[in-house]
Amino acid sequence: MGKSIAVSQNLENIITDIAEVARILWKLGWAESNAGNISVNVTEHIPEDIRELNKFPSNEIDKNYPELSGFSFFITGAGTRMHDLAKEPSENACILRISEKSNRYHILWGKKSGLDFEPTSEIHSHLSIHRFLLEKKAPQKVIIHAHPEELIALTLVKEYKQESKLNRLLWSMNPAAKIIIQKGVGLVPYCVPGSDELAQATIKAIEKHDVVLWEKHGCLAIGADVLETFDRVDILNKAARTFFTCKSAGFDPEGLSDAQLDELERLFWSKK
């Protein structure tokens, strides 16, 4: 086992929120088996000058991230389960710092802080998105990937493989979706999970959206904090579930009218 940094109260609070969201994701069935992953840019909570950095365990990444050199991220582990993360964050996640060589990282925290620990298989998507957010000086620091059933189900329906129709449906099923998810959702056509193709397609989608659906796979959301990010997915899946509930009962849901959606936009979007 390697060294481990001391965790500040602010960082401890972030980890507590991550554990709570992990518990909810598991309870909702949005993270079956070892599905789902979370990462947070925690650089501001890590001492800039860590003495004897080389004494912390390190590993290589099969890609360079020079723009992230010196940045630190909380990230869930490969093969870990959300219900285990909820109970023991330090056993199922780590805080890693990208080294100056940019294709290596040092594990700064986590009881599994050894060479046998591997971050999520979606690490390239996470790091690529964090790099994009930093380049844009965006306020979002959190990435959550999960498998909410109803949202995934919508990506299997040919009619809703168009972003305009998909967003019109989701907004019309739940006023909160129209009020809070003002950018709507982006839709990424199917890509192999963990691939660079998926990472690049996701980055293109989040240029305009805070939530992205991966066709036939899952959902990815970004936000300023863990709870806000989860709420976005929760609100959208509630809208999708409302739609399927009506359909399963044999009814075609009416949803909010264009006039009602315009009213919400006028009343709430102008305040942002």
Residues of the chain above pLDDT 70, percent: 96
Q: Are 13 and 102 in a shared domain? A: yes
Catalytic residue among 44, 122, 135, 163: 122
Q: Are 35 and 131 in a shared domain? A: yes
- Cβ pair 169, 49 in contact under 8 A: no
122 noted as active-site residue: yes
CA distance 163 to 157: 12
pLDDT tens by residue, 226-263: 999 999 999 999 999 999 999 999 999 999 999 999 99
* CB contact set of 210 (below 8 Å; sequence gap of 6+): 140, 181, 183, 221, 222, 223, 232
Q: Write phi, then psi, for 267 (nearest 5 degrees).
A: -80, -35
Q: Which of 38-52, 206-220, 255-269 has the lowest mean pLDDT?
A: 38-52
Question: Does the predicted TM-score (pTM) go above 0.75?
Answer: yes
Q: Looking at residue 2, what is its pLDDT?
A: 56
Q: Looking at residue 271, what is its pLDDT?
A: 60
Angle, vertex CA 120, rays to CA 107 and CA 95, nearest 5: 25
Q: Looking at residue 118, what is its pLDDT?
A: 85
Rounded mean pLDDT of 194-216?
94
Q: Are 189 and 123 in a shared domain? A: no
How many independent structural domains does the chain possess?
2
- Cβ pair 130, 109 in contact under 8 A: no
pLDDT tens by residue, 79-135: 999 999 999 999 999 999 999 888 899 999 986 545 567 899 888 889 999 999 999
Residue 1: inside a domain: no
Categorize the per-residue pLDDT at 16 as very low, low, confident or very high, splitting at 50, 70 and 90.
very high
Cα 134 to Cα 42, 92, 108, 207: the distances in Å are 13, 26, 21, 13
Q: Looking at residue 272, what is its pLDDT?
A: 52
Residue 71: inside a domain: yes
**Structural domain of residue 129, as residue ranges?**
9-145
- Domain of 13: which CATH number? 3.40.225.10
CA distance 159 to 150: 15
- Cβ pair 154, 148 in contact under 8 A: no
Q: Looking at residue 136, what is its pLDDT?
A: 95
Q: Are 73 and 130 in a shared domain? A: yes
- Whether the pLDDT of residue 171 is over 50: the answer is yes
Q: Are 49 and 132 in a shared domain? A: yes
